[in-house]
Amino acid sequence: MPPSPKILVPPIKTQGIKTKLVGWISSLVEQPIPGRWVEPFVGSGVVAFNLKPRRALLADANPHLIAFYRALQSGEITGDVTRTFLQREGQQLLDTEGAHYYAVRERFNEYHRPMDFLFLNRSCFNGMIRFNRKGGFNVPFCRKPRRFAQGYVTKICNQIEAVRACLEQADYEFLHQPFDRTIAGVESDDLVYCDPPYIGRHADYYNGWDEDSERQLATALEMCEAAFILSTWHSNTHRHNPWLKSIWLPYNLLTREHFYHVGGRVENRGPVVEALVSNLSLKTPE
């Protein structure tokens, strides 16, 4: 059996990141995709950056995710720029015993600079991305003043350069817009991959997520002419996802066990059975 390809880990961390599942998801996608790979909830971008489609539309309701990847795509953010920035800000974090984190958070909430977003994302509590009702980033510090040690900075810079290389070799468009607008614009030869916040699992997201959101997503996917794959949760040690037997019942289903390490709640950082829902005939290759 050939060795598994190395997974490209993106520089931005998000709740529910699919780093450990991207190989499974990719194995279900026939390449080349005739049209575009479309993600209405791009999040960290881990699936697209590993699948490496020729063309992609990567959208999200969180403007800071889109601004970060646009800056990386344009060359505003590079590995060298990132190293200089994180070394400087990391030293101030150490000198102030962590207090500098809150200065950067205040600065980000005023100016929304992509590098400040990266700094907060990689030094906040449990790698969360959470905003208050006024749109302010409000996750507390992880309490590790030595967070940006040399090895950690190098790791992030390597992740930046890996994504930059991916973007240079393909035609990717990043858009800040609601998921329904993204889905409404797909064409019949596109393939839509949806990784929305997991309903019923207390997921934090930029705009929140509830049953109405889940139903709106199902309606949008039902009306679009393209094939889609949806990531959601199937079950954990306490309960099952009831929406799989109602909203998503008409579609095909695959499952796989997974473990999450990122999230604000302890119950969201444990084993869970993942589900892929699709209007395609799903079968994991042997």
Q: How confident is the model at residue 270 (pLDDT cuts 50, 70, 90)?
A: low
Can you say how many angstroms the Cα of residue 274 is from the centroid of all Cα atoms in its chain?
16
pLDDT over 50 (residue 259)? yes
177 token code pair? 């817009």
Give me the percent of the chain exceeding a pLDDT of 70. 91
Using only the alpha carbons of the chain, give its radius of gyration.
Answer: 19
pLDDT over 70 (residue 286)? no
**pLDDT at position 33:** 95
Q: How confident is the model at residue 262 (pLDDT cuts 50, 70, 90)?
A: very low
pLDDT tens readout for residues 86-125: 999 999 999 999 999 999 999 999 999 999 999 999 999 9
Q: How confident is the model at residue 202 (pLDDT cuts 50, 70, 90)?
A: low
Q: Where in the chain is the domain with CATH 1.10.1020.10?
A: 73-161
Is the separation of the CB atoms in 81 and 109 below 8 Å? no
Q: Can you tell me the distance from the alpha carbon of 125 to that of 22, in angstroms, rounded to the nearest whole number?
A: 24
Q: Is the peptide bond before 32 cis (omega within 30 degrees of 0)?
A: yes
Cα dihedral 147/149/155/161 (nearest 10): 100
Q: Where in the chain is the domain with CATH 3.40.50.150?
A: 22-61+177-278
Our separate counts of H helices and E strands in the chain read: 9, 7
Superfamily of the domain at 22-61+177-278: Vaccinia Virus protein VP39 (3.40.50.150)
DSSP 202: T
pLDDT over 80 (residue 208)? no
Can you say how many angstroms the Cα of residue 233 is from the centroid of all Cα atoms in its chain?
15
Q: How confident is the model at residue 203 (pLDDT cuts 50, 70, 90)?
A: low
222 token code pair? 């039902």
**pLDDT at position 269:** 53
CATH number for the domain running over 73-161: 1.10.1020.10
63-74 vs 150-168: helix crossing angle, rounded to 10: 80
End-to-end CA distance of the chain: 11
Higher pLDDT, 237 or 122: 122
Q: Can you tell me the distance from the alpha carbon of 224 to that of 246, in angstroms, rounded to the nearest whole number?
A: 20
3-class SS of residue 161: helix
When mean pLDDT is compared across 30-34, 72-76, 223-227, 265-269, the lowest value belongs to 265-269
Q: Can you tell me the distance from the alpha carbon of 250 to that of 157, in angstroms, rounded to the nearest whole number?
A: 44
Residue from 63, 68, 19 nearest 261 by CA: 19
Other beta carbons within 10 Å of 252:
14
Q: Can you tell me the distance from the alpha carbon of 250 to that of 225, in angstroms, rounded to the nearest whole number?
A: 16
When mean pLDDT is compared across 40-49, 162-171, 207-216, 222-231, the lowest value belongs to 207-216
Residue from 112, 152, 109, 153 nearest 134 by CA: 109
Q: Can you tell me the distance from the alpha carbon of 180 to that of 124, in angstroms, rounded to the nearest whole number?
A: 30
Q: How confident is the model at residue 1 (pLDDT cuts 50, 70, 90)?
A: very low
Q: Can you tell me the distance from the alpha carbon of 205 to that of 153, in angstroms, rounded to the nearest whole number?
A: 26
Cα dihedral 32/35/37/40 (nearest 10): -170
